[in-house]
Amino acid sequence: METYYTHAMERWLRTNPGMKVTQFQVSELLSEAYGKAACIQTAVNGFKAAGVWPIDRDVLQQQITFVKKINQWRMQKSMVMGAKKIEKTIHLKP
């Protein structure tokens, strides 16, 4: 996308000599660049890099394992905090 944006910017500067690019032109230039960069192959390459397509079960398994470990840690922490609250409640009663 950077290449498309650079080309759009250079073309704009050539057709508007002496003018400065404002936020309005930036959004117009980005829109043009995105329209050229956003294509099926770009999306496919992004999915491949993320391991989503074709399915790379190792990548997904690593992420699932990581999430499970975080959830287990949160559950243990919650149980410890709950036990401490119960202990305080029991000790406060006469």
Q: pLDDT of 18-47, one tens digit each?
A: 999 998 899 999 999 998 888 888 888 888
Do 26 and 6 touch, CB atoms closer than 8 A? no
Alpha-carbon dihedral sign for residues 83, 88, 89, 91: positive
Residue 60 — very low, low, confident or very high, per pLDDT cuts 50/70/90? low
Lowest-pLDDT range, 6-10, 57-61, 78-82?
57-61
Instruction: Tell me the three state secondary structure of residue 94.
Output: coil
Model confidence at 88: pLDDT above 70: no
* Domain spans of the chain, in order of start: 1-38, 53-94
Number of separate helices (H) and strands (E) present in the chain: 4, 0
At residue 34, what are phi and psi to the nearest 5 degrees? Answer: -65, -40
